[in-house]
Chains A and B, each alone.
Chain A
Amino acid sequence: KQEVTQIPAALSVPEGENLVLNCSFTDSAIYNLQWFRQDPGKGLTSLLLIQSSQREQTSGRLNASLDKSSGRSTLYIAASQPGDSATYLCAAFDSNYQLIWGAGTKLIIKP
Chain B
Amino acid sequence: GAVVSQHPSRVICKSGTSVKIECRSLDFQATTMFWYRQFPKQSLMLMATSNEGSKATYEQGVEKDKFLINHASLTLSTLTVTSAHPEDSSFYICSAPDRVSGNTIYFGEGSWLTVV
Q: Is B105's CB under 8 angstroms from A46's CB?
A: no
Number of interface residues of A (CB under 8 A): 19
In Å, the complex CA distance between A36 and B34 comes to 14
- Given A41-B32, A43-B49, A99-B93, A89 contacting B44 (CB threshold 8 A): no
* B91 beta carbon closer than 8 Å to chain A: yes
In Å, the complex CA distance between A62 and B5 comes to 32
In Å, the complex CA distance between A43 and B96 comes to 9
Please name all residues of chain A whose beta carbon is closer than 8 Å to the beta carbon of B41 when the two chains form the complex. Answer: 32, 51
- Using an 8 Å CB-CB cutoff, how does the interface string of B86-110 with A read, 1 for contact, 0 for none? 0000010101010000010101011
- Label chain A's interface by main secondary structure: strand
B49 nearest in chain A by CB position:
A43
A40 nearest in chain B by CB position:
B103
Output the least CB separation between B80 and chain A (Å).
19
In Å, the complex CA distance between A108 and B38 comes to 29
Output the least CB separation between B33 and chain A (Å).
10
B106 nearest in chain A by CB position:
A101
Please name all residues of chain A whose beta carbon is closer than 8 Å to the beta carbon of B107 when the two chains form the complex. Answer: 99, 101
Output the least CB separation between B79 and chain A (Å).
14
Q: Is B43's CB under 8 angstroms from A87's CB?
A: no
Of B46, B49, B109, the contact of A98 (CB 8 Å cutoff):
B109
Of B32, B97, B105, B110, the contact of A99 (CB 8 Å cutoff):
B110
Please name all residues of chain A whose beta carbon is closer than 8 Å to the beta carbon of B67 when the two chains form the complex. Answer: none
Residues of A at the B interface (CB closer than 8 Å) are: 32, 34, 36, 38, 40-41, 43-44, 46, 49, 51, 87, 89, 91, 97-99, 101, 104
Given A43-B34, A51-B41, 4 more pairs with CB closer than 8 A: A38-B105, A40-B103, A49-B43, A91-B44
Q: Which 8 A-B pairs have the closest CB atoms?
A: A46-B43, A43-B46, A43-B34, A49-B43, A101-B107, A99-B110, A46-B44, A40-B103
